[in-house]
């Protein structure tokens, strides 16, 4: 698969540079973007095949829809390799499907899950990674607004229109919330560690 990805990336770069010249930095960015797109496509394709073979394809689509709408605004846990990411995603999806089939959420629990999701978006979205540039205050507000609209859209689909199974949506939101809290705790620890490292030479 790696050879195929490299071939596709090489051919795409060759096509892009047919009538124009790409700077070295631009070329690296394009190659990285293509690698991310191909990796995500391959991961989703493999997951779709697995859940189609296990007769859980419609559940997979519903959970994927919910994850796409929410994780874009809150992010999650990032692993080092594509294989690790695929394995974790597969385990999480399997857990959501099985939990969604056996758990009945009380109205109070549903309310708390929805409210927590909205609060996380309001307080922390977008969660910035070290590789991304800081965005302005107005852009952050727009991002938060879009995140809240997405959550309200999920709530309206599962409750008002009653499309799909609400327990899958709730389990998915709960997983995203747990991942967000873990990611935030890692971020806080890393900042504290960096501050400690900056102070240590001064003490010496």
Do 61 and 99 sit in the same domain of this protein?
yes
Q: Residue 81 — very low, low, confident or very high, per pLDDT cuts 50/70/90? A: confident
Q: What is the pLDDT of residues 3-54, one digit of tens each?
A: 777 878 888 878 877 777 777 777 788 888 888 888 889 999 999 999 999 9
The string of DSSP letters for 57-72 reads HHHHHHHHHHHHHHHH
Do 89 and 49 sit in the same domain of this protein?
no
Enter the pTM of the model. Answer: 0.75
Q: What is the pLDDT of residues 126-146, one digit of tens each?
A: 776 555 556 788 888 888 898
Cα–Cα distance for residue pair 95/175, rounded to 1 Å = 10
Q: What is the pLDDT of residues 143-181, one digit of tens each?
A: 889 889 988 888 888 776 566 678 888 898 988 888 888
Q: Is the pLDDT of residue 85 over 80?
A: yes
Do 92 and 159 sit in the same domain of this protein?
yes
Do 121 and 170 sit in the same domain of this protein?
yes
* Residue 54, pLDDT score: 93
- Decide which of 9, 28, 53 is a domain's last residue: 53
Indicate the average pLDDT of the chain: 82
Do 36 and 62 sit in the same domain of this protein?
no
- Give the structural domain span for 129: 57-203
Domain count for the chain: 2
Cα–Cα distance for residue pair 89/48, rounded to 1 Å = 12
Q: Is the pLDDT of residue 201 over 80?
A: no
Do 73 and 102 sit in the same domain of this protein?
yes
Q: What angle do CA 4, 37, 141 make, to 5 degrees?
A: 170
Do 65 and 4 sit in the same domain of this protein?
no
Q: Residue 202 — very low, low, confident or very high, per pLDDT cuts 50/70/90? A: low
Contact indicator for 174, 74 with CB cutoff of 8 Å: no
Q: What angle do CA 168, 77, 117 make, to 5 degrees?
A: 45
For the chain, what is the largest distance between any 2 Cα atoms, rounded to a whole number of angstroms? 64
Do 48 and 92 sit in the same domain of this protein?
no
Do 17 and 84 sit in the same domain of this protein?
no
Q: What is the pLDDT of residues 16-28, one digit of tens each?
A: 777 777 777 777 8
Do 18 and 84 sit in the same domain of this protein?
no
* Residue 91, pLDDT score: 93
Do 166 and 149 sit in the same domain of this protein?
yes
Do 27 and 66 sit in the same domain of this protein?
no
């Amino acid at each position: 698969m790696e050879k195929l990805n490299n071939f596709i990336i090489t051919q795409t770069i060759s096509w892009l540079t047919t009538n124009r010249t790409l700077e070295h930095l631009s070329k690296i960015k394009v190659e990285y973007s293509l690698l991310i797109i191909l990796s995500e496509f391959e991961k989703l394709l493999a997951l779709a095949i697995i859940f189609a073979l296990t007769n859980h394809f419609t559940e997979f689509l519903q959970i994927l829809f919910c994850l796409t709408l929410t994780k874009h605004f809150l992010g999650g846990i990032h692993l080092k390799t594509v294989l690790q990411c695929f394995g974790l995603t597969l385990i999480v999806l399997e857990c959501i499907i099985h939990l969604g089939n056996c758990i009945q959420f009380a109205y109070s629990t549903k309310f708390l899950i929805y409210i927590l999701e909205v609060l996380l978006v309001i307080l922390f979205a977008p969660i910035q990674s070290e590789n991304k540039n800081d965005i302005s205050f107005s852009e952050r507000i727009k991002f938060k607004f879009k995140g809240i609209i997405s959550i309200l859209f999920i709530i309206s689909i599962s409750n008002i229109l009653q499309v799909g199974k609400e327990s899958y949506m709730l389990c998915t939101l709960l997983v995203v919330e747990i991942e967000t809290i873990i990611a935030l705790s890692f971020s806080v620890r890393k900042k504290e560690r960096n501050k400690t490292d900056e102070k240590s030479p001064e003490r010496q």
